[in-house]
Amino acid sequence: MAEGENDPITLFKNFYSTILLIFSLVSIHGLIFTHQTGFSDEYSSVGAFFLLWAAIIWLAMIEGGQASHVGLKPVDQELYKDSHPVSYKIAEHCNWGDNLDRYLLGRQFGVIFVVFCVNLSGAPIADAELWGYPDWVVTIFFVTGFAMILFTCMVGQLNTQVNASVCMVDFINNYFSLFTYWGCIFVEFTGFVHFSYAIAMLVGIMAGKPVESKEEPKSGLNLIFFWLRVLFSFAILAFSLTVTLAALFEGKTTMWEAVPNWLAVILFFTLMSVVGMLEGMQIAFFYVAKLTEDERGSNYWAKSTCDILYNQRNGLNLPGFMIGRQLCVVTCFFVVARVTTQSIDEGESNVLDLPDTIQNILNFGFQGALITTILGSITWQLVAAVFPVAFLSNPVTYILLRICLFLEGTGICNGAWVMAGIFKRTVWIPEG
């Protein structure tokens, strides 16, 4: 449970965070059923409702599943073969060869894709109003997307991560988890994000640490099929970047009207960089935790960052960072979704004069999920894994760490602990 779970300050944080979560939850559904979200406005309120909950439940399983699959990797799967047959079935495949890496790659794209679905179904349209809310409430919760951020973080991510981290075998011992695992494996198999492998190879060559596989080297048709998917992924990525930048310069996205086109482009690349830093930081922090003080070097920023993470607050700043980081990343995801989702007003031409069929697909904004996965998440994780100390040796890492710890300290996401407790006692996860 949370630090000092029974002290008055923590109880207050749990209370106010839960109230904010309930308010956000009610307001989001109010917007959906008054046709004031993207999907409900264009299509159907009922469809938006089911899309929202299908996406958020799947997101919860993906996030919890990651903690379980990674945590169970070093555990002998034969120990739970009879007691947890579904968990064993997943582990039998996941622990073979490079399948865990394949799962994590597919999972990364799955998470961002699902968050974009959540944004599409539940995020308010421009000038949305609800039940006479004061302007300041509308601005804080609707215009900034704060309601969606709280809902997604606490319901779709943090609460299942909390439970899965301590109940790994139990959490994935169900067929929904099995379906989710194979879904992530299938996403990787399609090749949409295979360009990430080429980036990994390039980073490994630059660092003098070639990528090592636990499987036999690819040859023949397998090798051809692999590189065809890499080329396919690169082509899709290049197309996505082209149409996104064109839409931004032409002012044909769902970006706030007050933001100039040139500033929207800068904001897009800035947010991608922030997401990348935050994704890389978690990798670097876990790598550096295993190093001695001498191995961490003498750089001021690296030493200051390590001191905060490992020497203060009885070591709780590392999990505290993970909570604050989750809030920051989801915030960036929602803004990136707004920046990259295209919107063509009546009478306007399509972006780059593309056919209507392609434009209708681009209007969903899923090209942003692909860009964010490859350039905003995976690439930075790969660099941080190879150069963890160097990643810590810059002031941006230190500043982002402070921001994440501040956000965690406010208790704004403490409702996730309450959700986790309810979930643990009412579903299939046992005590202990």
How far apart CA 130 and CA 36 sit, in angstroms, is 9
Which residues lie below 8 Å from residue 305, measured CB to CB, with a gap of 6+?
392, 397, 398, 401
Pick from 30-34, 60-64, 421-425: least confident = 421-425
Report yes or no: 108 and 193 within 8 Å, Cβ to Cβ. Answer: yes
Q: What is the pTM of this model?
A: 0.76
How far apart CA 308 and CA 306 sit, in angstroms, is 5
| Tens-place pLDDT, residues 123-177 | 887 777 888 888 888 888 887 778 888 888 888 777 777 777 667 788 788 888 8
- pLDDT band per the 50, 70, 90 thresholds, residue 432: very low
Average pLDDT value for residue range 16-38: 87
- pLDDT band per the 50, 70, 90 thresholds, residue 6: low
What's residue 431's pLDDT? 45
Q: What letter does residue 429 receive in the DSSP assignment? A: P
- pLDDT band per the 50, 70, 90 thresholds, residue 228: very high
Q: What is the rounded (10 degree) CA torsion for 311, 313, 315, 317? A: -100
Average pLDDT value for residue range 383-389: 77
> Of 236, 243, 235, 241, which is closest to residue 344 (Cα–Cα)?
243
What's residue 347's pLDDT? 67
What's residue 288's pLDDT? 76
What's residue 427's pLDDT? 60
Average pLDDT value for residue range 372-393: 78
What's residue 166's pLDDT? 66
Pick from 141-150, 270-279, 280-289, 321-330: least confident = 280-289
- Residue 172 sits at φ, ψ, to 5 deg, of -100, 10
Report yes or no: 71 and 148 within 8 Å, Cβ to Cβ. Answer: no
How far apart CA 207 and CA 77 sit, in angstroms, is 34
How far apart CA 41 and CA 48 sit, in angstroms, is 9
Answer whether residue 235 shows pLDDT above 90. Answer: yes
Neighbours of 338 (CB within 10 A): 22
Average pLDDT value for residue range 342-357: 75
Burial class (CB in 10 A: 0-12, 13-18, 19+), 34: middle
Stated as kind and residue range, the H or E segment containing 2 is none
The 3-class secondary structure across 230-284, one letter per residue, is HHHHHHHHHHHHHHHHHHHHHCCECCCCCCCHHHHHHHHHHHHHHHHHHHHHHHH
Answer whether residue 5 shows pLDDT above 70. Answer: no
| Tens-place pLDDT, residues 174-219 | 888 889 889 889 988 888 888 888 887 887 777 677 767 777 887 8
Report yes or no: 28 and 151 within 8 Å, Cβ to Cβ. Answer: yes
- Residue 410 identity (one-letter amino acid): T
Top-confidence residue, 288 or 96:
96
Q: Tell me what the pLDDT averaged over the chain comes to.
A: 80
Top-confidence residue, 298 or 148:
148
Percent of the chain with pLDDT over 70: 92
What's residue 1's pLDDT? 44
The interaxial angle of helices 99-122 and 146-153, nearest 10 deg, is 140
